């Protein structure tokens, strides 16, 4: 559960206490913005954030830049500390290319899965205006409030399109210096948009029968009460064995190794780790594989995540074939892999292997292991395809900072079973909910609600 307090943002008379709020900043980083103005835009974001109560059980913040292409700085789950967020914003570097706002909104919708508020800051006309309306409408239909802030040459028509023609959520200033003057007005919109309530933790797995309070805005409640039937993917990933195999060779810097560790921990957070449900194992490799923990070591999510954060960097060469051969023991019953439970291997690598991978990859798949390959940078696609046996199980990112862009896809693929039809959580009332995550699209709090899997 988490609830968010924005008391510092709002006046005491504003109904804005104990409210959940996830805020994404989508910032224009095109070449039309000077370095001085780019800094002023960062200062504005820092002002809003510094007045918010940021924490794991409080406000969550994410930032994505965009130019010709979007670039994720950090998602909603990467930083739960205000000072770390402010420091990350200070380190942001300007992209200095075109202004493809429509593409950026598509990316922020598909990859970040924003819960409530998206704040777009731009200084110019979109080079892909044909995409703006469709993508902005899709965001709002999913319950997301879009606040658009235009500076200098921004086109007011496009700002209003993004905000759904709600002029109360459209702001315009003549220069970047004046962004600071918008703070109180923007804060007021944030407070009036967010409604009181509580959010359930996001799970891809079935959980034991329990009381699950739910949350939603007044508007979404009315919509859900009228329709009352929605698709929900809760039970698709009832039980699973997942092993992570991390490349820690010299081609990966210690800093990138830290990012990889944090990403792995974030993926694990989405599972219900227990003796009955998800089992997690992990090994690292370079010249030789190194066992960290097998599938029987931990039945507690916090212990798994704690071990991941303690992983040490090594260096060396990339011998992936040897690592795949070694990791087979994790999926044997002697390695505590469970019979008739889906088996998944998630591989991270950024380079070409010095040894052959085909024979050992085939042996893994013959054991019933589904292999996912996450490739970073200059990849060797045919080798990755040889490992996974399926193109949809290969995930490519340009750098380690972009890993957050594929987190949702990875989790969904792990939880997908080609032999199962989608299942539903059974509620006390005959109701199903739309979401990739547990109660992400949500409804007004009932007296009580019990969720079972069947």
* Structure tokens that stand for 140 in this block: 């709002």
Q: Which domains does the chain have, with CATH numbers?
A: 22-193 (3.40.50.410), 239-415 (3.40.50.410)
Contact 254, 272 (CB under 8 A): no
C-alpha to C-alpha distances, 350 to 51, 289, 388, nearest whole angstrom: 39, 16, 15
Residue whose tokens read 């299942």:
423
Q: How far apart are CA 332 and CA 336, in angstroms?
A: 7
DSSP codes of every residue in 174-199: SSGGGGGGGHHHHHHHHHHH--S--B
pTM score > 0.95 for this model? no
* Structure tokens that stand for 4 in this block: 């968010």
CA proximity to 65, closest of 100, 18, 116:
100
Residues 186-232: pLDDT tens digits?
776 776 665 443 333 443 433 333 433 333 333 332 333 333 333 33
Sign of CA dihedral 339, 340, 346, 347: positive
pLDDT in tens, the chain (454 residues): 333 333 333 333 333 334 456 788 888 888 888 888 899 889 888 888 887 778 776 778 889 888 888 888 888 888 888 888 999 999 999 888 887 887 788 777 665 554 578 888 887 777 777 777 888 887 777 778 888 888 887 888 888 888 888 888 888 888 887 787 786 777 767 766 654 433 334 434 333 334 333 333 333 323 333 333 333 333 335 588 999 999 998 888 898 899 999 999 988 988 889 888 899 999 999 999 999 999 999 999 999 999 999 999 988 888 999 999 999 999 987 767 788 889 999 999 887 788 888 899 999 999 999 999 998 887 777 888 889 988 889 888 878 888 887 888 888 888 774 334 333 333 333 333 333 333 333 333 333 333 332 2
Residue whose tokens read 């509580």:
198
Query: ∠ CA 150-34-26 to the nearest 5 degrees?
Result: 45
Residues 35-51: pLDDT tens digits?
888 998 898 888 888 87
Contact 40, 2 (CB under 8 A): no
Contact 199, 215 (CB under 8 A): yes
């Amino acid at each position: 559960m988490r609830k968010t307090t924005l008391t510092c943002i709002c006046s005491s008379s504003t109904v804005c206490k104990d409210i959940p709020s996830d805020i994404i900043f989508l910032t224009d980083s095109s070449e039309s913005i000077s370095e001085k103005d780019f800094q002023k835009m960062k200062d504005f974001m820092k002002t809003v954030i510094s007045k918010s109560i940021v924490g794991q059980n409080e406000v969550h913040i994410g930032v994505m830049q965009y130019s010709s292409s979007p670039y994720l700085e950090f998602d909603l789950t990467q930083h739960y500390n205000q000072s770390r967020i402010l420091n990350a914003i200070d380190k942001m570097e300007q992209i200095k290319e075109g202004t493809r706002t429509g593409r950026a909104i598509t990316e922020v919708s598909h990859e970040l899965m924003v819960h409530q508020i998206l704040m777009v800051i731009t200084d110019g006309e979109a080079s892909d205006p044909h995409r703006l309306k469709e993508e902005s409408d899709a965001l709002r239909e999913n319950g997301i409030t879009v606040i658009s802030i235009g500076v200098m040459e921004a086109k007011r028509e496009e700002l209003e399109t993004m905000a759904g023609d709600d002029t109360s959520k459209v702001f315009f200033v003549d220069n970047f210096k004046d962004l600071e003057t918008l703070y109180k007005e923007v804060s007021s919109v944030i407070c009036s948009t967010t409604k009181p309530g509580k959010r359930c933790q996001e799970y891809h797995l079935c959980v034991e029968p329990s009381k699950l309070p739910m949350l939603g805005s007044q508007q979404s409640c009315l919509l859900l009460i009228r329709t009352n039937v929605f698709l929900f993917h809760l039970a698709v990933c009832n039980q699973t064995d997942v092993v992570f195999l991390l490349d820690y060779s010299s081609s990966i810097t210690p800093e990138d190794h830290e990012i990889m560790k944090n990403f792995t921990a974030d993926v694990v957070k989405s599972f219900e780790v227990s003796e009955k449900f998800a089992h997690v194992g992990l090994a690292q490799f370079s010249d030789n594989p190194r066992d960290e923990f097998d599938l029987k070591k931990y039945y507690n999510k916090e212990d798994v995540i704690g071990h991941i954060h303690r992983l040490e960097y090594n260096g060396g060469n990339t011998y992936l074939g040897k690592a795949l051969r070694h990791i087979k023991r994790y999926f044997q019953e002697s390695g505590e892999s469970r019979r008739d439970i889906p088996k998944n291997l998630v591989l991270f690598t950024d380079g070409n292997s010095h040894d052959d991978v085909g024979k050992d990859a085939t042996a893994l798949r013959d054991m019933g292991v589904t292999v996912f390959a996450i490739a970073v940078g200059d990849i060797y696609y045919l080798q990755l395809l040889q490992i996974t046996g399926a193109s949809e199980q290969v995930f490519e990112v340009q750098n380690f900072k972009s890993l957050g862009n594929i987190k949702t896809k990875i989790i969904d693929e792990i939880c997908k079973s080609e032999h199962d039809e989608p299942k539903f959580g059974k509620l006390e009332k005959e109701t199903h909910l739309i979401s990739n995550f547990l109660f992400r699209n949500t409804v007004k709090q009932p007296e009580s609600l019990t969720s079972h899997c069947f």
